[in-house]
Amino acid sequence: MKTSYPHQKEDSIIKRIFKSFINPFTLILTCLAIISFITDVLIVSPADRDITAVTLVLIMVAISGILRFVQETRSNNSVKNLYPWLRLQLLLK
């Protein structure tokens, strides 16, 4: 009986980056950024315009996506490094 580990097709880097930024947390933050942009920039007088809230929320979205991408890349690399060890354990049993 031959036992092997599952082979999965690896997603492209573009797809992984896209997946990192599309999640409920970033979607809510993006909606908040849009609402802040409308209320703080578009519908106020030019003297009262303030893009601070919009900028901060977009920075939070960027940091969240980047952290998720880096963490998922590291975990995928760790799993790839464990496969040879798993194969060795299966062969020994």
Contact 49, 41 (CB under 8 A): yes
For residues 69 and 20, what is the distance between their CA atoms, to the nearest angstrom? 5
What 3-state class would DSSP assign to 11? coil
Instruction: Determine if the pTM surpasses 0.85.
Output: no
| Structure confidence by residue, pLDDT tens digits, 41-81 | 999 999 999 999 999 999 999 999 999 999 999 998 888 88
H helices within the chain, ranges in order?
A: 13-21, 24-37, 52-92
